[in-house]
Each structure stands twice: as C-alpha cells, then as structure tokens.
Amino acid sequence: STESQLELVCLLLSFKPGNANVKWLVNGKESSPPTPAFSSAMGTDGFYMGQSRMKVTKQSWEKGDVYTCQVIHPAVGAELSMHNTSKCLGEGLSPCMAGRWGGELPRNQETGAVGGWEEKEIPCSLDPTIYLTKPSYEDVIKNSGRVTCLVLGYDSAASSITWKVDGQVSSAAKTEPPKKNSNGTTSLVSSHPVSLAQWGQGTQFTCKVTTPCSVELTQDITMGNTGEEPWHLKEKGKLQSLVSLTLICEASGFYPEEISISWLKNNSPELKSSYNNGPVSGSGIFSAYSILKVDKSGGAVNYTCVVHHPAMKDRTVLGESRCQKEFPSSGKRW
C-alpha cells in the first residue's frame, strides 16, 4: 500500500455487559496520543459488539513495532487480556485485528458476565532479547549451579531454546512454561546445569533461540576459569561481649572474584543464617570476609572456617576455634 497511515481494529464480539476497558500498547508501553474511545452496541440477540481502532503509521508498521490490544472485562474478572500483532520482520503481513472477543465461552461464575478471547492470528514480533546469567559460585560447589537463559519478547511462547556446551548440542537443560507479562511481552526461561569441573575449565555455554518471525539468535557465556588462589587467610576473634563472641574469617589476594566462605560447627555445616558474608571487594585482586557470631552459653564447640575458590584444587580449612563453656579472657583458643 502507498498509504502513509494504516489502521488496526480490536474487535469484541458477543459479550455482556456492554462496558469494556480497551487500551492499546506500542512495544509494551501505553500509546501516545491516548487510546481512541471504545464504542459498543447491543445486537438483536442481547449480546454486545464493540471495537477500538488504532491509527498506525506505515513507518512504524514496516519496522516491526508490536501493537497490543489490552482488554479488561467482567468476563475475565480482574485479569488483563493481552493480544499482540505486528508485521513479521521476515515476511510482510497486512494489518490485521489483534484477535476476537467471543461470547461462545463459559460464563464468569462470580459476575455472570459472558465473553472471552479467541486468537485469530499468529502473533508476529520484534526480535526477542536474551539475558544469559551465570550461577553463583556457591551454588556450583553445592552441585546446584545452573546457567540461566531468559528470553523476553512478544512471541516467546512460540519460540524454542536449544543449548550448546563448548559447541556441542546438549539436552540437559530444563525449560519452563512461558509466562505472560503485564506489558504484553512473554518470558521464556531455560536453565542448564553447571558442574564444578566445567566452571574450572572455563566451559562456554550457548543459548540459541529460534522464533517464528526471526532468524536464530544466540548468546554465549563462559564460566569462571581458575586464577590466583587466596594467599592470605586468617581467622580471628574480636568484638567480645558478656554473652557472645564474633569470629571473623578473611581471605585476600585472589582472583577471579568468585569465592565461597562457610562455617562448620563440630564438623557439621553451620546454618547460613548464623553468619554473614561481606561483599567481595577489590579490582583485579580481591578480598572477602565472613563473620560468625558465637553464643558463649552453648558449651564447648569447635568452629571451622571453610574457603572454596576456583584456583584451589581442594577446599581450604582454616585452623579451628574451640569455644569453651567457660571462656578465657581472650575469648578463644587455637
């Protein structure tokens, strides 16, 4: 078409009551100027028909902007009904209605309202955005680390995700059902397990996303490789009071910045809520610390600070602190 302006129509059919709140979003944001007024009329069958029209520039349509018809009606309660349309980047389509609101669906039991959305078009979209994130080093050493691929777009529900590990296709990933967001976009999340060996070897993970309207999109992330292990480790007691003692475990001179510091109580893992790990600080070479508060009334107890770092072949266990029922004046014994 040679026309410079096009029109989209959001058509609602066979619904009641006749009031509906209809808004248009452009790429997930409310349109400006404001959405045109919604008009409706009752037919001879007692049901209503309504429509909302949206002016669209040809330039906007051609570049693939996504238009969303957002409907609020008693038939769906307080939920938003979001329906998208656009011109696919790979194949031109004529402007089309975003969908159809039909009354041949179950009645809302609470309000008595009738109506529901029936998709009539396969949504087209802009290229999705991919967010790839590493697991925490602490999760990796606990064998629960997973690299996560989040796909955010307008047709993510129809997208597929595949994984490669160092260039080889892997089937070990877990992909969750798509989730629709309030701005009309859809989130798709897939995660792949990461072993401690893969972390130490600097393994590369690739998330490949294929959508109906775009070429294949990929994003890579490389796990942390070994670097310099902490050269300065110490454990000390300070901040004594009549009822408690604070133990501090420090590690410095290491890189990369991923590190895990934990505590043992009588050779069993201490609850994570019992200690506080401070932030890793530094640039290039890093340092970190962990603070454990000990109750003096707990009897004779051995506390041990345990440090994990990618540059270490094994975990490092610092000298234990034995906290007695009757504390000496120093508050600790090595």
Closest CA to 320 of 258, 253, 268: 268
C-alpha of 180 from chain center: 13
CATH 2.60.40.10 fits 129-222, yes or no: yes
Averaged pLDDT score across all residues of the chain: 74
More confidently predicted of 266 and 183: 266
Q: What is the pLDDT of residues 134-159, one digit of tens each?
A: 898 888 888 899 999 999 876 666 78
pTM over 0.75: no
What is the reported pLDDT for 96? 31
Residue-wise pLDDT tens digits, 103-112: 443 444 444 4
* Topology (CATH) of 5-118: Immunoglobulin-like (2.60.40)
The pLDDT tens digits of the residues spanning 89-99 come to 334 333 333 33
- Asked if residue 256 has a cis previous peptide bond (ω within 30° of 0), the answer is yes
Where are the CATH 2.60.40.10 domain residues in the chain? Answer: 5-118, 129-222, 232-323
Q: What is the tens place of the pLDDT at every residue in 6-27?
A: 778 888 877 778 788 888 888 8
**What is the C-alpha to C-alpha distance for residues 247 and 175, in angstroms, rounded to an integer?**
42
Say how many C-beta atoms besides its own lie within 10 A of residue 93's C-beta. Answer: 14
d(CA 33, CA 98): 19
- What are 33's two structure tokens? 């100027």
- Is CATH 2.60.40.10 the right assignment for the domain spanning 232-323? yes
How does 53-80 read in b/e, with b if 16+ C-beta sit within 10 Å?
bbebeeebbeebebbbbbbbbbbbeeee
| Whole-angstrom distance, CA of residue 329 vs CA of residue 319 | 20
Task: Check if the beta carbon of residue 73 is closer than 8 Å to that of residue 13.
Answer: no
Q: Residues 6 or more apart from 296 whose CB is under 8 A from it?
A: 242, 243, 244, 245, 323, 327
For residue 100, give both structure tokens: 């159809």
Task: Give residue 300's identity as a one-letter amino acid code.
Answer: A
